[in-house]
Amino acid sequence: QGVAQGRTWARPEAEAGAMVQGVVIEDGKIVVVDPATGEVVGRVPVSSAEEVGAVIARAKAAQVAWAERSLAERGALLKEACKKLAESQEELAKTIVKEMGKVLAEAIEEVGGAVAKDDFIDLVVEANKPIVMNEGKSIVIRQPHGVVSICAPWNFPADELLLLAIPALVAGNTVVVKPSEVAPMTGAKVMEALMAVLPSGVANLVQGDGVVGGALVQHPDVAMCAMTGSSATGKKIMESCSNSLKRLVLELGGKDPMVVFADADLDKAAEDAVAFSLMNCGQVCCSIERIYIEAGAKEVFEKKVVEKAKSWKVGNGFHAESKVGPLVSEMQRAMVAKHVDSAVSGGAKLLYKSDVPEGSGNFYPVTVLSNLKQEMEIQKEETFGPVVAIASFDGSESSAITLANDTPYGLAACVYSKDAAKARRVSRQIRAGQVGINSYPLAVAPLSCPWVGHKGSGFGYHSGPDGWRQFSMPQSLVSEEPLVEDTA
């Protein structure tokens, strides 16, 4: 167990040294294993309790001076830091493949997004500018929280870290970042670029598991906690922060539905169903995990899905022909297998199962299932694997809405129909933060759209002007006379 500020956080399976996704600590170091080969590719020291406390103290000491810099200056320094990260772009992409297994093309795309942040930073700066009202007699300014702890995920270990850190830093906070223990080397490389450019103490790094994360979120000098990860971890963080009413931004899990009416463009729908069920080996919080096809189009749609799924080859992420890498861990592979096996034994139809490489590695075949029933485990719990999961519905709008909403989650959804009015009606009734109409929302949403988790998929949110502003607090300055405020 780890002790922080009078409370304890138990490490699951602590006696065996196991952590999230079965990662192991040996001799005070995270053992980083390539999920494609089983080879140890690194050992990363875990931050001690004393080190965590010292890092938070350093962040607190640096925060006031950082906040006194202008918005424009903070934004310019962050742009410079992202350009610094670009110097190691190729190495960073390869590190992602080694740590969590995604194919190199996807890793390159992620890193490309991480380093090309100028437009993003400009939008965040704009969202933090003062708002002048009442002929200049009232001004709403933004005040930083102070020290913000950030727990980054393993599935997008470079870009997601920055999507949380940049808004916090633009707002005038300092940050203490804990990368996922699954991808600590990626997180370290991103933070090295920030720390090389930003003033000392503004951006800080700690490494470890939930014990270290617990020490961060419970520390009295941490004013806000931001995390992307599982709903179970999010609930622990929320409970831990409740006594001190820390501000929270939590992006959590999902079980995202895709509704396909018979009048949809079935080729487009099948293409998206496969691509966004299998992207990143299905390990995306907003993966398509439940597909509902209108019964009258079921047979045609399923044939199209199977044909498209056959082009998604499973293999080592460094092999050019691979489109699906290994799952992040043996634990995750076992979870996906459990969902699929349970569904098939319960009457689901196995439409397709791909080959996988022989030998070691956490590879799982691309799988297409049909005839799924709503009560099945695979329809209720996050699968997080390369599975295209198909059920049917009667074609009515009411059934589509009921099935889509039959989940404790509410992250994203998709609705496909050539009847635009019908698609909009159904979309508006789905309890999800973002709904793609004849599209996948993550692929087409502009930077200014908020990324919101309804229900169990989040608390607070971190994108769009409203999301970026959650990393600061508004303060109203009011007077009977016009006020002058420097907005630079």
Residues with a known catalytic role = 251, 285
Total Cβ atoms within 10 A of residue 480: 5
Total Cβ atoms within 10 A of residue 475: 11
Total Cβ atoms within 10 A of residue 488: 8
- Helix, strand, coil shares of the chain, percent, nearest 5, are 45, 20, 35
**At 59, is the secondary structure helix, strand, or coil?**
helix
Q: How far apart are CA 482 and CA 484, in angstroms?
A: 7
DSSP secondary-structure letter at 157?
T
DSSP secondary-structure letter at 205?
E
Write 265-270 long-range contacts (CB < 8 A, 24+): 265/416, 265/418, 265/438, 266/297, 266/300, 266/301, 266/304, 267/304, 268/416, 268/438, 269/301, 269/416, 269/438, 270/301, 270/304, 270/305, 270/308
Q: How far apart are CA 399 and CA 397, in angstroms?
A: 6
Name, in order, each residue with C-beta under 8 angstroms of 245's C-beta and a sequence gap of 6 or more. Answer: none
Distances (CA, A) of 188 to 81, 259, 462: 14, 40, 22
**The residue type at 445:** A
Q: How far apart are CA 412 and CA 244, in angstroms?
A: 31
Strands in 472-478's sheet, in edge-to-edge order, are 131-133, 138-144, 472-478
Q: How far apart are CA 153 and CA 277, in angstroms?
A: 19
* 111, 185, 37, 366: CA torsion to nearest 10: -40
- Among candidate residues 131, 142, 141, 138, the one with its CA nearest the CA of residue 482: 138
Between the two ends of the chain, the Cα-to-Cα distance in Å is 47
Instruction: Give the H or E element holding residue 18.
Output: none
